[in-house]
Structure 1
Amino acid sequence: MASDLVHDDPRAVAADPVARARAAADSWSRATEAHPTPRWSRRHEAITGAALVSKGTFYHHFPDKKAMFAELYTELIQQVGALGDATSEAVRATPDEPAMTAVANLTHAFLRRTIDDPLHRELMAQAPAVLGEQYRHINETVAQPPIERLLTVLAERGDLQPDVPVATVARLLLAGLCEGNQIIAAAADREDALARTFRAITLLMSGLAADDISARG
């Protein structure tokens, strides 16, 4: 029986963008692991074959590698942003709980995905080169706002140093997290790289904390 992800009818694909993106994404990940540096035409054939879609359907939605990367990377960042907003709400709802612990857990979860999710790993590793300036645009418009909102909540609670430049700090933290993902992805021992990267980012973030945060934590 054909898979539920077989959508050769463009109308069916358009009606189910999440399934379309996930099918192509999973196929992309398998193709990348099987052929680390294939030509786009070979990788495209592996993707369409694994996703059980025709080349016509594939090109109807993804005319090239960059178009597919843009959609999948945006979807990934939206998911991460949703986690950030959930953390903001949780921190706001529990004023007596140590907020920095929740922030640290969110940071670790984001970095951990580089090990646990092959798609996340490939997108984070390749998106800068594939998307160019569009990569920065997606980060600034999709990924950065949830970080700004979380920092704003922390500032309102008094958990940050006075007059923290929220937008600038959010952009720098995002850059560090993205670079951390690439460090982990490229490492021979990813678990060790995760531990070192998480430690480094935690130390950097600790400089943002209010002077008495440990006493109040």
Structure 2
Amino acid sequence: MTVKSRREEYAALTRAALVESAADLFTEKGFDVTSVDDIAGAARVSKGAVYHHFQDKRAIFDQVFRISQQEVLAQVDEALAVSDETDRSPWQVAATAVQSFLSSYVADARKRSLLRQSAGVLGVRRCREIDDELALPLVLGLLDQLAERDELQPVSRDMAATMIFGTLCEAATTLAFAEDHETAGRDATLVAGYMLAGLVKEAS
């Protein structure tokens, strides 16, 4: 086990404070209005400390959004762990994952705000890189479970995973922009369920 030096611990705490302060400001004020000075002030560090840890404001948002997406997927993992304990079928597990993914945005205003801003700040390509890294392995794992039970239609799992998560991301973005995000979330969950059901092979 590696023991961190006092300097390393302080650096980690400073970085965490910057990320948390930036997340609050990006949510409340928006990326464009928030300045590096605002972030430094909220975190109670110097402006130089900000640039010691991050190249620019966009790099801070990148980290903030990445953490937000990790939190969403952690909630999905938690829901799946509960499903495993109830001996549900892989398809029921997949449906649980969809509901948990979309519900996390319905329940959290910060996540909705960051998602609304993400493409404009980071660009579609960077958002997709983050999602591909964090989420695609989870989707592929669920498809593998269906395939192992011979419950998956004869499709490319890589393409299916990409399209499934693309659909879920679009649904999450739509509900994030909706005035009534709770209704939008319910509608998105229902529609996604019907769309994904087409991938399940009918019992012969």
**TM-score calculated relative to the size of structure 1:** 0.75
Q: Which of 29, 33, 43 is the matching residue for 1:39?
A: 33
Stretch of structure 1 that moved more, 181-190 or 59-68: 59-68
Structure 1 unaligned residues grouped into runs of 5+: 1-8
Structure 2 unaligned residues grouped into runs of 5+: 1-5
Answer whether contact 2:58 2:121 (CA < 8 A) is retained: yes
In the aligned structure 2, how far is the partner of 1:67 from the partner of 1:181?
23
**TM-score calculated relative to the size of structure 2:** 0.79
In the aligned structure 2, how far is the partner of 1:21 from the partner of 1:172?
35
Which residue identity lines up with residue 70 of structure 1 in the other structure?
D
In the aligned structure 2, how far is the partner of 1:12 from the partner of 1:155?
45
In the aligned structure 2, how far is the partner of 1:116 from the partner of 1:13?
33
What does 1:124-135 align with in structure 2 at a 5 Å threshold? 124-132=115-123, 133-135=125-127
Stretch of structure 1 that moved more, 70-79 or 9-18: 9-18
In the aligned structure 1, how far is the partner of 2:15 from the partner of 2:158?
30
Q: Which of 21, 25, 30 is the matching residue for 1:24?
A: 21
In the aligned structure 2, how far is the partner of 1:92 from the partner of 1:160?
19
Query: Between Structure 1 and Structure 2, how many residues are aligned?
Result: 198
The alpha-carbon distance between structure 1 residues 121 and 45, as it changes in their structure 2 partners (threshold 3 A), is farther
Q: Which residue of 1 aligns with 2:60?
A: 68
Q: Which residue of 2 aligns with 1:15?
A: 12
Question: Per-residue displacement from partner, 1:152-202 (whole Å, max 9, x unpaired)?
Answer: 1221122322x2211111111111111111111111111111111111111
Answer whether contact 1:160 1:209 (CA < 8 A) is retained: yes
Q: Which residue of 1 aligns with 2:3?
A: none
In the aligned structure 2, how far is the partner of 1:134 from the partner of 1:17?
25
Answer whether contact 1:88 1:149 (CA < 8 A) is retained: no
What is the percentage of aligned positions where both structures have the same residue? 32
Aligned: 1:99 with 2:93: no
Please report how far the alpha carbon of residue 22 of structure 1 lies from its aligned counterpart in structure 2 after TM superposition. 5.1
Question: Per-residue displacement from partner, 1:119-159 (whole Å, max 9, x unpaired)?
Answer: 32122222222112222222223321221122112211223
